[in-house]
């Protein structure tokens, strides 16, 4: 009889354990489902970012790469509060620069922290990427209005101006939308800058590029972004 008692206890333990496991699986599935729904509502990743994992931009404030990856996996399993990973930690300019450090950038973000740009920065915050590149909208460039060059180039003087309608005239007539039709912003493309107004890139083509379409300045670039494996390698070196 003693033997029967023991096995009844074992049976109870067995079923208790099984129910525990089923409940846990249920909770994980429930939260993953809820969370993925929330993520889908974020919208598609931007151009070029389709293959990146969340941690490449949403890193934990403290912790090494392994901890970041772990926290992200447990996050996806629904075991951590969303706010722990994504809500509290802002994506900063440094996250972007980990993969997009372009030493040749003609408008480097750090430069605009200088006091002389204070007034301009109040209008267009060029110290951070997100002003012009918000994420999760399937775009490439999202800046509100591309005539923002006016905030810094009012006093521009070009010596021996090569273009048929000189810069001084464009600026006097406030034709600030023409600038991007000849010049890329970061100076990362190798291409011949037009010298005639009739050869400028049409605004429609520029807008299509911003929305994720073909690059009108060409595909010959000085630098391209690091892939995720390359990013992990640079972190491991640190």
> Contacts with ligand HEC: how many residues (CB under 6 A)?
77
What is the sign of the dihedral through the CA atoms of 210, 215, 216 and 217? positive
- 95 sits near ligand HEC (criterion: CB under 6 A): yes
What is d(CA 57, CA 68) in angstroms, rounded to the nearest whole number? 11
Q: Does the protein bind ligand HEC through residue 149 (CB under 6 A)? A: yes
Cα 87 to Cα 53, 71, 97, 146, 195, distances in angstroms: 17, 14, 21, 30, 47
For ligand HEC, give the closer residue by CB, 26 or 162.
162
- Residue among 60, 68, 71, 140 that touches ligand HEC (CB under 6 A): 140
Piece of 7-15, 26-34, 59-67, 195-203 that binds ligand HEC (CB under 6 A):
195-203
Upper half-sphere CA count for residue 109 (Cβ side, 13 Å): 18
Q: Which residue of 63, 87, 166, 213 would you call a contact of ligand HEC, by CB under 6 A?
A: 87
The three-point CA angle 125-131-135 to 5° equals 160
Burial class (CB in 10 A: 0-12, 13-18, 19+), 148: buried
Contact call for residue 70 and ligand HEC (CB under 6 A): no
- Of 65, 183, 201, 235, the residue at the interface with ligand HEC (CB under 6 A) is 183
Instruction: Single out the residue of 58, 59, 60, 68 in contact with ligand HEC (rule: CB under 6 A).
Output: 58
Q: ∠ at Cα 57 (51, 59), nearest 5°?
A: 125
Does residue number 28 form part of the binding site for ligand HEC (CB under 6 A)?
Answer: no
Site string for ligand HEC, 119-138 (x = CB under 6 A): -x---x-x--xxxxxxxx--
User: 228 near 56, Cβ under 8 Å?
Assistant: yes
| Binding of ligand HEC by 80 (CB under 6 A) | no
What x-and-dash track marks residues 219-238 binding ligand HEC by CB under 6 A? --x--xxxxx--x-------
Q: Which of 28, 31, 54, 65 binds ligand HEC (CB under 6 A)?
A: 54
Residue 150 has phi, psi (to 5 degrees) of -60, -25
């Amino acid at each position: 009889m003693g033997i029967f008692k023991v096995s009844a206890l074992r049976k109870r333990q067995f079923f208790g354990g099984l129910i525990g496991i089923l409940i846990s699986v249920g909770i994980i599935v429930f939260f993953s489902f809820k969370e993925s729904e929330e993520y889908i509502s974020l919208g598609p990743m931007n151009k070029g970012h389709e293959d990146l994992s969340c941690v490449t931009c949403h890193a934990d404030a403290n912790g090494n790469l392994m901890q970041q990856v772990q926290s992200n996996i447990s996050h996806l399993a629904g075991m951590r509060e969303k706010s722990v990973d994504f809500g509290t930690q802002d994506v900063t300019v440094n996250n972007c620069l980990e993969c997009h450090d372009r030493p040749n950038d003609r408008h480097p973000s750090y430069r605009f922290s200088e006091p002389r740009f204070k007034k301009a920065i109040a209008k267009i915050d060029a110290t951070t990427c997100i002003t012009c590149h918000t994420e999760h909208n399937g775009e490439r460039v999202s800046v509100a209005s591309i005539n923002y060059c006016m905030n810094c180039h009012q006093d521009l003087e070009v010596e021996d101006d090569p273009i048929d309608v000189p810069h001084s005239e464009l600026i006097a007539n406030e034709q600030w939308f023409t600038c991007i039709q000849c010049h890329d912003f970061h100076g990362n493309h190798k291409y011949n800058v037009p010298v005639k107004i009739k050869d400028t890139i049409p605004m429609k083509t520029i807008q299509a590029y911003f929305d994720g379409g073909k690059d009108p300045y060409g595909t010959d670039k000085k630098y391209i972004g690091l892939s995720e494996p390359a990013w992990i390698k640079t972190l491991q070196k640190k």
